[in-house]
Amino acid sequence: GAVVSQHPSWVICKSGTSVKIECRSLDFQATTMFWYRQFPKQSLMLMATSNEGSKATYEQGVEKDKFLINHASLTLSTLTVTSAHPEDSSFYICSATPGWGGNTEAFFGQGTRLTVV
């Protein structure tokens, strides 16, 4: 199956700093990627749709100036959490769907656990 890889797997940062999370599709190209966040014991909540070469589309209630998304190539999307605060501590997960023809499911990265102290 397809592989979506995130880096880093975990990160600890100080309050007020910015953190960048990378999401790569390793064996396919993805014009669209999705970013989710998951709080402990909760479900995955879609944050935004990352579009290659254009602006991301944010879900209602997600601050676009706080969660900057850049999809500069067909295999890489980045999520930057700016001026992070403890309430931003969460598990961030990206996904992408390969265009191999026909229906196929989305593939998810292994997630990035962000802890803001």
- Strands in 67-73's sheet, in edge-to-edge order, are 4-7, 19-25, 76-81, 67-73
- For other proteins, the binding residue among 75, 78, 90, 95 (CB under 8 A) is 95
- For other proteins, the binding residue among 3, 7, 20, 32 (CB under 8 A) is 32
Residue appearing with tokens 């600890």:
12
- For other proteins, the binding residue among 78, 111, 114, 116 (CB under 8 A) is 111
- Specify the stretch interacting with other proteins by CB under 8 A; choose among 10-18, 19-27, 38-46, 66-74: 38-46
Amino acid at site 56: A
Amino acid at site 65: D
